[in-house]
Amino acid sequence: MKEGMILVFNVGSSSIRYSLFHKDKLLESKKYERLKSKEDYKKSVEKIFEKINLEKISLIIHRVVHGGELNHPVKISKEVKNKIKEFSEFASLHNPKELMVIELCEKYNKKQFAVFDTMFFSELSEKAKTYAIPLEISKKYKIKKYGFHGLSHEYVSKNLKGKTIVCHLGSGVSISAIIDGKAVDTSMGFTPLEGLMMGTRSGTIDPGIILFLQKKGYNVEEILTEKSGLKGISGYEDFRDIRPKMKTNKNCKLAYEMFAYQIVKTIGSYVSSMNGLNNLIFTGAIGENVPSLRKDICKNLGYLGLKLDSEKNKNNFELISSGNSKINVFVKKTNEEKMAMEKVWEILK
């Protein structure tokens, strides 16, 4: 492959972020937000291609949330698009938008590759990825823990030895357990709905609630994916709206406390399953930028010998643990686009 520029698309449920690379050097990056209709996405893609020199683009890479059984970067074909469409049923907020942008890019006649968020977790053990439902049903419908945010978890944990827990905290939330660079468990599962409460997603709840609400005639999918989580408790889905209101709005305070509590519980469970911890990483928009939340989480982990440096934490240093802490605590800026680019570059070399 000629060493031209690589354009990477990271398409969200209401946004498009693109990054332009030459080799491993980032040339430019921009995010278009609050996109609602297909026309919004179409206009954003057109704006991106108006800004860049198309002739210098060697290939286009797309981060795709749910890849099902696809566990490595693939050149996009009709068959791959069908797979992305098939798994849209389980990533309904993301895959359809990502497929739409892939098809919008086709008119520019460039090679396109897909890199999947599920790849990093494709080698989880049977005991970690299997659900306790009849195995014949699991096998028939490929029901298992796939895991998500894999590009982020892999990027921030690169080159760390020992037992690591990564907390990806943003509008979507996932926590992973990693030993010597290999994922051993993660909080998201068959869909990006499992795990901790998120901006609008409920996270893990008693399955009986789902059955109960269905009997009552509710649109359960809409409730759990779009109306729950932080939004369902406080009325606000953006963490930046919740924190300033905590002293005067008891529901905002409750949402914050629930969020921190669930993170601590999940970290604790992974410490037990790995029989120890060497590194704790905070990443994502919330993880990277909210020192008070990191402090509230870490104060419950003192039994591990974890100690924060309050000044470093307050100023978002990369290493925020104190010199005598038994656990390294990091704040790392994630870069899913760079990780996606590196993954494709590896197979094209």
Q: Which residues, including other chains, have CB under 8 Å from residue 239's CB and lie 6 or more apart?
A: 199, 230, 285, 286, 290
Amino acid code (one letter) for 290: V
Instruction: State the sign of the Cα–Cα–Cα–Cα dihedral 282, 287, 291, 292.
Output: negative
Of the candidates 123, 184, 164, the residue with the CA atom closest to the CA atom of residue 332: 164
Q: What is the number of other CB atoms lying within 10 angstroms of the CB of residue 172?
A: 27
Which residues are known catalytic residues?
117
Extract the tokens encoding 80. Answer: 């791959």
DSSP state of 306: -
Q: Which residues, including other chains, have CB under 8 Å from residue 178's CB and lie 6 or more apart?
A: 153, 157, 160, 163, 164, 165, 166, 184
**Cα separation of 45 and 54, whole Å?**
13
* Phi, psi (deg, nearest 5) at residue 146: -95, -40
Extract the tokens encoding 281. Answer: 């990483």
Of the candidates 120, 101, 147, the residue with the CA atom closest to the CA atom of residue 342: 120
Any bridge partners for residue 328, and if so which? Answer: 279
**Does residue 234 contact residue 254 with C-beta atoms inside 8 Å?**
yes
